[in-house]
């Protein structure tokens, strides 16, 4: 039997706890999830949770960090691997479909904001993560517009803010009236195409 080094075992345990917590938070909200439930879902004792996190706030923060990192990486990889506007739009559509299918993160985000008075550290960290994500998204949008926008390009910062608000709005609305992830991605991409001045095939003027 191969013995797993303690450091690697700790990383695996932490990762499983974060993954289990993310699933439970999305399904039941922050208030509806106990650390006992997280431990059970991950296949550990409650002691394993406290060996890796100081409490629910610390665990929720770790979940958010993982979520934002995965989201940024997936979108950046999608854009980097395409050579023309149509390919980039197709890659973004696939990434957005996956984001919408991942669960109601916007709802969870709204709940965390409501709890900001109770968890000021979490609220501050979440705001910092959101700002960091917006900065990276602005860079991606700016690069896309420079390459493919047809005619005068919109302001990258304004376009990014608009798309971020649209994404959250679509998630929140879908929570009330469920819509398939692919359809949500279609609606999102129609706005991207309109703002960039592209036709429905993404046939803008490559620069």
CB 52 within 8 A of CB 10: yes
Structural domain tally of the chain? 2
- Whether residues 114 and 130 fall in one domain: yes
Question: Which tens digits make up the pLDDT trace of 78-120?
Answer: 777 677 888 888 888 998 898 888 877 878 877 877 777 788 8
- Whether residues 106 and 14 fall in one domain: no
Look at residue 38 and tell me whether its pLDDT is greater than 50: yes
Q: Is residue 3, in this structure, part of any structural domain at all?
A: yes
pLDDT grade for 168, boundaries at 50, 70 and 90: confident
Highest mean pLDDT, choosing among 69-83, 110-124, 163-177: 163-177
- What own/partner pairs with CB < 8 Å and gap ≥ 24 does 77-85 have? 79/140, 79/143, 79/144, 84/148, 84/202, 84/206, 85/147, 85/148, 85/198, 85/202, 85/203, 85/204, 85/206
- Whether residues 35 and 66 fall in one domain: no
pTM of the model: 0.76
- Whether residues 164 and 99 fall in one domain: yes
CATH number for the domain spanning 181: value is 1.10.357
Residue range(s) defining the domain that contains residue 105: 61-196
CB 43 within 8 A of CB 60: no
Q: 161: which residues sit within 8 A by CB, 6+ positions away? A: 134
């Amino acid at each position: 039997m191969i013995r797993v080094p303690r450091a690697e075992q700790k990383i695996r345990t932490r990762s499983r706890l974060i993954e289990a917590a993310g699933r439970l938070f999305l399904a039941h909200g922050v208030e509806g999830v106990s650390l006992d439930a997280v431990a059970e879902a991950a296949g550990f004792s409650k002691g394993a949770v406290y060996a890796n996190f100081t409490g629910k706030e610390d665990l929720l923060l770790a979940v958010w960090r993982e979520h934002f990192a995965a989201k940024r990486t997936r979108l950046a990889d999608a854009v980097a691997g395409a050579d023309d506007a149509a390919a980039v739009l197709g890659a973004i559509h696939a990434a957005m479909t996956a984001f919408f299918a991942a669960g109601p993160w916007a709802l969870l985000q709204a709940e965390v904001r409501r709890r900001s008075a109770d968890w000021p550290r979490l609220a501050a960290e979440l705001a910092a993560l959101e700002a960091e994500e917006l900065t990276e998204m602005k860079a991606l949008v700016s690069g896309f517009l420079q390459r493919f926008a047809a005619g005068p390009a919109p302001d990258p910062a304004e376009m990014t803010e608009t798309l971020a608000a649209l994404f959250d709005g679509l998630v929140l609305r879908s929570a009330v009236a469920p819509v398939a992830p692919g359809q949500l991605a279609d609606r999102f991409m129609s706005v991207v195409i309109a703002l960039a001045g592209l036709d429905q095939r993404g046939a803008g003027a490559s620069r």
